[in-house]
Amino acid sequence: MSTAPAVEVESLVKRFGDFAAVDDVSFSVEPGELFGFLGPNGAGKTTTISILCTLLTPSDGAARVAGFDVATQPGAVRSSIGLVFQEITLDDYLTGAENLKFHAVLYGCPPRQVRERAAPLLEMVGLTDRADQQVRFYSGGMKRRLEIARGLLHAPRVLFLDEPTIGLDPQTRAHIWAYVDTLREREDTTMFLTTHYMDEAERCDRIAIIDQGKIVAIDTPSALKASIGSDVVTIETADDALALEQVARGLSVDGELTDRGLRLHVPDGEGFVPRLFEHLSVGIRNVNVRRPSLDDVFMEYTGRDIRDAEAGANDQFKMNAMTRGFRR
């Protein structure tokens, strides 16, 4: 058994005109790992995944998947990977089982492999009973599950999932994750997924936080949270700016003003709160103490809240569209 990385990316760049959607990104994913890209809309997640799946060519740098170079060995890469993309790409007028067969023919899977794998995969994603029904009668969650089964049909070494649960309700998202966990137990597949959901990032072995085309941090979720090295105390007061000044002067604690109040990082949150009440002369409306979350990690490494970053991404998209010279 080789222990070469399942995915290896070196100084990868993807430019659209003058704009670098992926800007000098390097990382590697170990075999069997569940690796996640966490970032807001427009961060460069889909662009990176598209390069790894040979759907886009890199502008600079190199990437290998299952040991094959994406630029010079695209065929070998394609036969080593499975893909579950943001948009649903099933044929609505075929049944679930037919969709799997159709995909197998398209990708040149041996018929024997399809016979052996289709039924257990359908079972795994809970679609055995619906296998002979046309896909147009499936719910969004069922379609996604069928796509995951389809992505696994040719026993890929690496499965790429681009925002696999986007737009699905919380219950269906939980289901999909249960299948991902089952999958990890039964198959030794490396998984690379992108998400902008913090709870999904938490489930990964390691995550890379990507923002504006760059990886700003990469580690296990717990190591990233520990790297902040303190508790987070958020307070809402009658005058947050004044409170910040008093906290800085009286307690020597730095903080930042956010639209959800004043955020402070302290080693011992519970011990800090009584001192806070002693030192502040402004009225305190709300106090919250917690261990750092991935939201805090995102904030720490990008200086922005992931939700604000999301909102800003729409403007970014419009701007790119303009610089690309889009016409109606």
Contact residues for Mg ion (CB under 5 A)?
Answer: 45-46
Residue closer to ligand ADP (CB basis): 44 or 261: 44
Pairing, β 206-211 against β 34-38: parallel
Work out what residue 164 binds among Mg ion, ligand ADP, none; the CB cut-off runs from 5 to 8 Å by kind: none
Residue closer to ligand ADP (CB basis): 207 or 235: 207
B/e letters for 18-54, b = 16+ CB within 10 Å, e = fewer, are eebbbbebebebebebbbbbbbbbbbbbbbbbbbbbb
Q: How far apart are CA 179 and CA 191, in angstroms?
A: 13
CB of 278 to Mg ion, least distance (A): 48
Work out what residue 102 binds among Mg ion, ligand ADP, none; the CB cut-off runs from 5 to 8 Å by kind: none
Work out what residue 43 binds among ligand ADP, Mg ion, none; the CB cut-off runs from 5 to 8 Å by kind: ligand ADP
Would you mind telling me the total number of residues written for the chain in this entry?
328
CB of 244 to Mg ion, least distance (A): 36
Q: How far apart are CA 247 and CA 263, in angstroms?
A: 11
Work out what residue 21 binds among Mg ion, ligand ADP, none; the CB cut-off runs from 5 to 8 Å by kind: ligand ADP
Residues lying near ligand ADP in the complex (CB under 6 A): 16, 21, 39, 41-47, 316-317, 320, 324
CB of 238 to Mg ion, least distance (A): 41
Q: How far apart are CA 18 and CA 287, in angstroms?
A: 46
Q: How far apart are CA 274 and CA 168, in angstroms?
A: 42
Residue pointed to by tokens 């759907």 = 55
Work out what residue 42 binds among Mg ion, ligand ADP, none; the CB cut-off runs from 5 to 8 Å by kind: ligand ADP
Q: How far apart are CA 165 and CA 48, in angstroms?
A: 18
Nearest position to Mg ion, beta carbon: 46
CB of 138 to Mg ion, least distance (A): 23
